[in-house]
Each structure stands twice: as structure tokens, then as C-alpha cells.
Structure 1
Amino acid sequence: MSTVTATRGLVEIHNVHKAFHGVEVLKGIDLTVQPGEVVALLGPSGSGKSTLLRTINHLERVDAGSVTVDGEFIGYELRHGKLHELREREILQRRTRVGIVFQNFHLFPHLTALENITEAPLALKRLSTDDARELALGLLDRVGLADKADAYPRQLSGGQQQRVAIARALALKPQVLLFDEPTSALDPELVGEVLDVIRDLANLGTTLIIVTHEIGFAREVADRVVFLDQGRIVEQGAPDEVLSRPRHPRTREFLAKVLG
């Protein structure tokens, strides 16, 4: 849970709908995440968690409704009362405010850990080569990989690759950081090292929205747990309330299966 008061990173999701091939995956989602808040999204496979996450930084276009970060649309602008999609270059610029870490790392295999982190700041002309290198080395140190700067992804364990992916997401200094099942592709013994990094981020005031099946971690780190099922928010509240005393039968059923 965040111990720093944040002033940026407000996410407002209003009546969002999204369908794929005629099947509605998100059915009118309303959710506000306050600056610096840590929100864990829980729910069964197919409930819409990852799709919702991807609408926040416009990796998925919404069919209806809106998503804003600090009052600004990521993929659109409002003209004459209607939303118009921005050009790709403008979308990319706005998207830098929202970092995302995927379950399968998505590192560039031909680049070293350091080069994976410096690639975006250099491509966007945010930093000089020297400054980008200094930033990347600092981020690698922050995620416990100061000695892996010159290693290629194939030379790293899954947990190390995911920590590099987190450092890469932090390189553009986003106000919001999204995690899509960040530990699901890892061997069990590697999960802890990634969760430790996310736990540290939760104390720094960055808005975090985490899709996870790690119930114990959600209980410890999240300010709020949001449970989705069949494209709708079924229940939300403080972790102890939702995870220990769920009100909705569907939440109770899900937790009984996950917790055994």
C-alpha cells in the first residue's frame, strides 16, 4: 500500500464497453483509481481483467465509454463534443504516461538488459545517450540487477527478465503502472523476487493497477480489490473486506476455488 501522497495518476473509467467478434467482454465498467492508489483486479479467466487493463493505455480501443488519465484521453481528443482518435505518434506520446508490464516480459531478445531500458527514452528523444544509460543503470540497481546490464534476455531467468521489464516500464517515469499477471509465466520459486519489486513500487506513490491471481499478495499490497466476472465489476472494497468477508456469492465461489 502506498505510503507517499501522489498528485498525479488519476484513472477514470466511465461506462466502458468492449466486444470481440460480437462477444461483449466489458459490459459497462465504471472505475476510478485515485493517484497513488494500488488496485488489484481479480476474477476468473475470461472475466475481462486484461482487456480492461489494455483499454487504459489504448492498446485496446473501447467501443463505448471513456478512459482518462489525469483528465486526459490517451488515444483520443474531444472535438465539438465528440471523441476523435489521435494519430499514432500522438497516441505513443500520451501512452508514455502509462507503463505496462506483461506476463511474458516482451523484452527485445537482440538487446541487452541495459539497451532494453534505454530504447524508449532514446527513441522518443527524452534523454541523451549518457543520461539514458545512467537512468537505466539506476533502475537495474533498483530492481536488484545492477550486475546484469550487459546480459541478454536469454541469459536471464524468468524472474530476472520480468524485473528488467519493470525497469523498462519505469524508464519513462509513468504516472500509472499496469501489471498484467506479472508472475503467471514464472516458476514458483521466482515469483517472490518480482513481487518484492512491485511491493517496493507500491510504497513510492505510483498508481498501480495489478491483474493477479496472487491472493495473498493482493491482500498485503493493494489498497482496494476489484473483482470482475463476465465483464462486470461484481464487488470491490478493502482487501480484508473482499477477500475475507465477500458479500457477493460469485466472489465467495471464486475465492473458495482459488484458495482451496
Structure 2
Amino acid sequence: MSTPVLEIHGVHKSFGTLDVLRGIDLTAQAGTVTVILGPSGSGKSTLLRSINHLEKVDRGRVRLDGELIGYRQAGGKLHELGERHILQQRARIGFVFQNFNLFPHLTALENVAEAPIAALKKPKIQVYDHARELLARVGLADKTDVYPRQLSGGQQQRVAIARALALEPRLILFDEPTSALDPELVGEVLDVLRDLAAAGTTMIVVTHEIGFAREAADTVIFMDEGRIVEQGPPAQVLDHPRHERTQSFLSKVL
């Protein structure tokens, strides 16, 4: 079998005396969708932020395509990489936040084009052509010159997804991408995620949208108190959960 896109082994993370991640092991193969479910405070967002080194892990390893993220290993010890190297690694890991994080002073097109120009030093004409294609892909071909304040929440999130795609990442992380949206806008973002899944984009999605998990996920993970309690295909985890904690959580959200 080929090397997984993502490998997480024994990851621990604490904030003071609070243990947020308690020994996480997770792998993701290319072209798969992993959905992470769990109650608030279970460590889901911290896990995502640990994958691209926005949070430094206390113990354990994160690898992308076999390469250690955030560190180099020498003489049996880990040494944190310099910021420039870490930023290069992050360019291979897209991240879509729940609150969009768009630049308010840039148009939709400029938001999408900013990172490839700054990080990859690509020619502007090429980048802007690609950015237009990506906005069209998420259904916003007519919004290229519009500023974030003039867009709905769902439209802003679709711009954020296009921005994540612009760097052609190996993996995209979604941290509750629909939680800040009005209910009637959730569907338009989930439609984009379904299209990405169908196209073979490697994704890890933290969400409470059980329908999306059932329809699009290859693997569903249930987390609680910093641990992976249960994982497997959607039909197993959602319809026949083995762990009592998973059953209790699903009984409240289904």
C-alpha cells in the first residue's frame, strides 16, 4: 500500500493542566474523506491545528507524505523547524476555518490569489486565471470583484474554500465549516464539499452535519475527552456504534 497522505502517531497536547489530546493515532489515504464528530471540548479543533503545526504537539508525530511536520529529527531528538520551512509545509495543507478569515480589504478574487502569489511566487496572470476557475468551481464566478462584506456567510465560506484550493494542497482541513452559517446557507457549502469529495480531494472535516458524514465520508471518527473513541465506515459508526459514548452522542444529534 502507498504511504498515507497523513499519519498521526501518539499525539498529545495539553494547555496547562488540561489534557486536550491524549494519544491520537490517525491515518488518511489519498482521495479519502475523514469526518470527525464529537462534543464541544473533545479536542477536534486542536487536532486539526496540530496537523499543520498551528499548535505544537507535546508528544507524538505528524507526517504528511512521510515528512515530519514542524520538526526535523536528528540524533534521536526533535528540533523545531524554522518559520519559513513551517510555512512551506503549511502551503501543502489547506485550512478552512469556521469564521472564514477572509481579508476584508481584498475582493473575492484577490483573497483567492493572495497565497499563491505570496507563498509560491507564481506569475500574477496565471494565478488570477486559476483563481477565477476556482471561484467558478464553488459557484461564485460572478463575485470575483465583490468584497467579503458584500457576500453572505455561505458565499464567504465558499471563497475561503476556493482560497484553500488555490495552493493545490495535498490535504484540506475543515474546522466546522458550516457552524457559523444561517441554516438556509449550510446546504450551499455542503454541496461544495460533496463536489470536492467526489473529485477525490483528501479532506478531514470536523462537523456536526451527520447527513454529510453519512453521504461523503470514507471514515467517521468519534472523539471524546481528547481520545478517538471509535472509528470506521459511516454505516458502522453512525448506524451500529459499538461504544456506549458514541451511542449516547448520536442519540442526541440524530
Q: TM-score, normalised by structure 1?
A: 0.95
Give the equivalent residue in structure 2 for 1:61: 56
2:27 aligned to 10, 13, 32, which one?
A: 32
- The CA deviation at 1:206 is 1.9
- Provide the C-alpha distance between the structure 2 equivalents of 1:17 and 1:109, rounded to a whole number of angstroms: 35
Q: Is the 8 A contact 1:37 1:207 kept in 2?
A: yes
- Provide the C-alpha distance between the structure 1 equivalents of 2:233 and 2:251, rounded to a whole number of angstroms: 18
Q: Is the 8 A contact 2:4 2:27 kept in 1?
A: no
- The CA deviation at 1:74 is 2.2
Give the equivalent residue in structure 1 for 2:211: 216
| Counterpart amino acid of residue 253 in structure 2 | V
Cα-to-partner distance string for 1:25-71 (whole Å, 9 max, x where unaligned): 00001111111111000000000011111111111100000100100
The answer on 1:115 being equivalent to 2:107 is no
| Counterpart amino acid of residue 127 in structure 1 | K
- Provide the C-alpha distance between the structure 1 equivalents of 2:137 and 2:66, rounded to a whole number of angstroms: 30
- The CA deviation at 1:125 is 3.9
- The CA deviation at 1:126 is 3.3
2:89 aligned to 82, 91, 94, which one?
A: 94
The answer on 1:156 being equivalent to 2:122 is no
State the Cα RMSD in Å: 1.1
Residue ranges of structure 2 left out of the alignment (5+ in a row): none
The answer on 1:146 being equivalent to 2:141 is yes
Give the equivalent residue in structure 1 for 2:202: 207
Aligned to 1:134, the other structure's residue is in SS state helix
- The CA deviation at 1:8 is 7.8
2:121 aligned to 105, 123, 126, which one?
A: 126
- Provide the C-alpha distance between the structure 2 equivalents of 1:77 and 1:36, rounded to a whole number of angstroms: 27
Residue ranges of structure 1 left out of the alignment (5+ in a row): 1-6
Q: Within 5 A, what are the aligned runs for 1:153-232?
A: 153-232=148-227
- Provide the C-alpha distance between the structure 1 equivalents of 2:204 and 2:63, rounded to a whole number of angstroms: 14
Q: TM-score, normalised by structure 2?
A: 0.97
Q: Is the 8 A contact 1:8 1:175 kept in 2?
A: no
Q: Percent identity?
A: 69
1:254 aligned to 230, 249, 254, which one?
A: 249
Q: Within 5 A, what are the aligned runs for 1:67-86?
A: 67-86=62-81
| Counterpart amino acid of residue 149 in structure 1 | T
